[in-house]
Amino acid sequence: MTHRLTHRRWFTPWLLAGPAVVWLAVFNLWPAVNTVILSFTNAKPLGGGHFTGLDNYERALSDEQLIDALVNSIVYLLVCLPLLTLLPLLLALLVEKKLPGITFFRTAFYTPVVASAVVVALIWGWVLDDRGLVNGVLGQLGLADQPVSFLTDRWLLLFSAIGLTVWKGLGYYMVIYLSALGNVARELHEAAAVDGASAVRRFWHVTLPGVRPAMMLISVLISVSALRVFSELYVLSNGTGGPGGRDMSVVMLIQMYSRGFTGHIGYASALSLLLFMITVGPMLLLARLNRKAA
Amino acid sequence: MPARGFGTPTPAGKAARYLLLALVLLLTIGPFLWQLSTSLKGPGEDVYSRTPDFLPAAPTFANYTQVADTIPVWTYAVNSLTVAGIAVVGNGVGATLAGFALSRLRFRGVRLVLGLFLATLVLPGEVTIVSQYVTVRSMGLTDTLLGVALPGAIAMLNVLLMYTAFQAVPPELDAAALVDGAGVWQRLVHVALPNVRGMLSVVVIFTFIGAWDDFLWPLIVLNDPQRYTLTVGLQYLNGTFAANPRLIAAGTMIAFLPIVAVFAALQRFFFKGVEEGALKG
């Protein structure tokens, strides 16, 4: 097919792609450039601002709240990564077989994914409340004399949010594994079974190598989303960021500085660039994996 | 498929499997049911009881009317629906047209444009959210639903998804239509579109869910409590009138049940795609 054959008027493609290209420029490329520009200014949420050089970056270096946020991000990542790489795979193996009613179970396991993080966090906030379900049961079983302060302790709050992220992510990664398992040749399993390989050996030598590409992709996705966490921590701490604001994530800091009279768009932009730098590593890995798969 | 010995579980194995399934079901659905139950409990019932009752003693919808007296929850629902509606139409139309043009029409600059679309994927939305706010502010759209909906009205990922779907349509179909003298519009509507319906439905479903569930962006754009979307409104309810868990439970159910209904109604499109390996890892 030559150029001329696909359409008569030269501008037809631009007419069709036009809106998307405008969105690309106005809402994707420009904000990326503008984030860099703003990070060198003292712009405020209500407008104004002028060039202030590296002030925002110097401020970031001595921001204790930012250090807390980065520590939280690392803990988040280290806990989420193994749990969300492994548990959804086991879940996918559980729902893989076409048993009666399996569609119902698959849909049900996916439900936490389609619910808003706000809804999920409000539900868990109530379940983990000092007078909530978990503390009620713990007290009933005599496992805790006093309510466990899941939502008001600096570390327990962080781990509650992590638990919530893991719980909400199970179904999402399960579906990716399910898709990958569909591509693992059934014949391989059968051959291994005929050779007398146990279920554990088959899992180790047939299933795992078969889903390895999906597993790589998933661990990158988990890393990036762990670094981007916001809603879980925000809602569980009721917007406060926990005791002393120590349970903030980098995105929570960005949100905090993006509004109000005390906001600081310039500083929030510098934090945004920092966030980009810590997420770009896993992202580049993802791009590389995609290129390999293509 | 012929009957095979392998993979046919023993009755005991089958029972164990269902037991496990039921256990996971309890873990995933249990909290939602607990919340639903709380939302139906009347003021006379002790929701803080140390021996929790899983079923409301006298189920009542009073909390749902009361939450509407506390915050304009139905206005919030309409606001969320408006934002999601703009997102669905914008992405459904915008991403389809662009995906088609990039995939099926030959023109100068197509590679550059595709490369730029692809490059945006390494940019998490949170990174540009502050300058996005500055852009929306310069358009005079802060504190409006249009300001919430506009930046996501054509998502770059969706353009690429539609592009990929159009790429999978056999070129012979197009060629045949060209020989018959079909114009661009006819080829799009009659040849290409029927072949990408699966991907289009995935794009539409996830755009709707994404817009309905979004929290951070509307939280930044909106100030006036009258204009909140449901997620922002719920956090406002939680933060400002925290006393009554029954009300918050009713509010979360108002945000949760529609999305579950949408997903339950459309899940077969989604899982069909999964089984065909459409979401290759």
- Whether residues B231 and A116 touch (CB distance < 8 A) is answered with yes
B186-240 pLDDT tens trace: 888 888 998 888 889 889 988 999 999 999 999 999 999 999 999 999 999 988 7
A71, containing H or E segment: helix A64-96
Domain assignment present for residue B72? The answer is yes
Which residues of chain A have a CB within 8 Å of the CB of B120? 24, 28-29, 32
Within a domain: B52:
no
Put residue A265 in one of left, alpha, beta given phi > 0 → left and psi -120 to 50 → alpha.
alpha
Is B279's pLDDT higher than 60? no
A 54-83 residues with CB < 8 A to B = none
pLDDT digits (tens, 9 = 90+) for B67-96: 898 899 999 999 999 999 999 999 999 999
Cβ pair A115:B213 closer than 8 A: yes
Kindly state whether residue B192 falls inside one of the protein's structural domains.
yes
The CA-to-CA distance between both ends of chain A, in Å, stands at: 24
Beta bridge partners of A51: A41
Q: How far apart are CA A159 and CA B58, in angstroms?
A: 36
Q: Is B14 on the interface with A (CB under 8 A)?
A: yes
Residue B202 lies in a domain: yes
Determine the Cα–Cα distance for residues B243 and A80; give it in Å rounded to an integer: 32
pLDDT the model gives residue A96 = 87
- C-alpha B243, offset from chain centre: 30
CB-based contact A239:B235 (threshold 8 Å): yes
Which are the contacts of B192, defined by CB distance < 8 A and separation ≥ 6? B100, B104, B166, B169, B173, B174
- One-letter identity of residue B210: G
CA atoms B151, B154, B155, B156: torsion sign: negative
Min Cα separation A16/chain B (Å): 5
Q: What is the pLDDT along chain A (294 residues), one digit of tens a residue?
A: 445 567 878 888 889 999 999 999 999 999 999 999 999 999 888 877 889 989 999 999 999 999 999 999 999 999 999 999 999 999 999 998 888 889 899 999 999 999 999 999 999 999 998 888 898 888 888 888 888 889 989 999 999 999 999 999 999 999 999 888 887 767 777 777 778 778 888 888 888 888 888 898 899 889 999 999 999 999 999 888 888 889 999 999 999 999 877 889 999 999 999 999 999 887 777 777 767 765
Are B71 and B255 within 8 A, CB to CB? no
CATH number of the domain within which B168 lies: 1.10.3720.10
What DSSP line would sit under A11-59, residue for residue? THHHHHHHHHHHHHIIIIIHHHHHHHHHTTB--BTTB---B-TTHHHHH
Rounded to an integer, what distance in angstroms lies between the CA atom of residue B6 and that of residue A151? Answer: 49
Residues near B30 by beta carbon (within 8 Å), at least 6 away in sequence? none
- pLDDT band at residue B1 using 50, 70 and 90 as cut-offs: very low
Give domain status of residue B123, yes or no: yes
CB A254 within 8 A of CB A265: no
Residues of chain B neighbouring A269 (CB-CB closer than 8 A) = 130-131
The identity of residue A249, as a single letter, is S
Q: Which of A119, A255, A280 sits opposite B216 (nearest CB)?
A: A255
Residues B95, A20 contacting (CB under 8 angstroms)? yes
Smallest Cα–Cα separation from A235: which of A226, A222, A221, A247? A247
Q: Which domains does chain A have, with CATH numbers?
A: 43-293 (1.10.3720.10)
Residue B203 lies in a domain: yes
Residue B117 touches chain A, beta carbons under 8 Å:
yes
| Separation CA A181–CA A97 (nearest Å) | 11
Look at chain B and report how many structural domains it folds into: 1
Distance from CA of A28 to the nearest CA of B (A): 7
Domain residue limits at B215? 65-275
Which amino acid does the sequence have at A232?
A: E
User: Which residues in chain B touch residue A196, judged by CB atoms under 8 angstroms apart?
Assistant: none
DSSP character for B168? T
Whether A258 and B220 lie within 8 Å, measured CB to CB: yes
The answer for residues whose C-beta is within 8 angstroms of residue B68's C-beta and 6 or more apart is B74
B145: closest CA of chain A, how far (Å): 16
Residue B199 lies in a domain: yes
Q: Which helix (H) or strand (E) holds B111?
A: helix B110-119
Q: Which of B35, B130, B274 sits opposite A123 (nearest CB)?
A: B35
Cα separations in angstroms, A67 against A64, A230, A267? 5, 16, 15
Tokens matching residue A26 = 């106005």
pLDDT at A4: 53
Q: Given this model, what pLDDT does residue A272 score?
A: 96
**Contact status of A190 with chain B (Cβ, < 8 Å):** yes
Residues A287 and B149 sit within 8 Å (Cβ to Cβ):
no
Q: What is the ipTM of this complex?
A: 0.89
Q: Which two tokens stand for residue B125?
A: 């939305």
At B4, the pLDDT band (50, 70, 90 cuts) reads very low
Strand partners, A47: A44
- 3-state helix, strand, coil split of chain B in percent (to 5) is 70, 0, 30
The whole model's pTM is what? 0.90
Interchain contact, A272 vs B128, CB within 8 Å: yes
Mean pLDDT of all residues belonging to chain B: 88
pLDDT at B3 over 70: no
Q: Which residue of A has its CA nearest to B205?
A: A114
Please tell me if residue B258 touches chain A, with a CB cutoff of 8 Å: no
Would you state the structure tokens that stand for residue A32, as one six-digit string? 């990326």
Residue of A nearest to B251 (CA): A119
The C-alpha atoms of residue A38 and residue A265 are separated, in whole angstroms, by 7
CB of B139 within 8 Å of a chain A CB? The answer is: no
Question: Does B275 touch chain A if contact means CB atoms closer than 8 Å?
Answer: yes
pLDDT at A273: 95
Write the residue in B52, B154, B264 that is nearest to A133 by C-beta. Answer: B52
Restricting to A residues 253-272, those with a Cβ less than 8 Å away from any Cβ of B are: 254-255, 257-259, 265, 268-269, 272
Give the model confidence (pLDDT) of B119-173 as tens digits. Answer: 998 888 999 999 999 999 999 999 999 999 999 999 999 999 999 999 988 888 8
Residue B280 to residue A190, Cβ atoms within 8 A: no
Q: Which residue of A has its CA nearest to B241?
A: A238
Chain A and chain B share a number of CB contacts under 8 A equal to: 301
Q: Is residue B56 part of a domain?
A: no
Q: B51 CB near a chain A CB, below 8 Å?
A: yes
Which amino acid does the sequence have at B208? Answer: F
The pLDDT value recorded for residue B157 is: 94
In angstroms, the CA A161 to CA A188 distance is 40
At residue B276, does pLDDT exceed 60? no
Chain A partners of B25 at a C-beta cutoff of 8 Å?
A: 105, 108-109
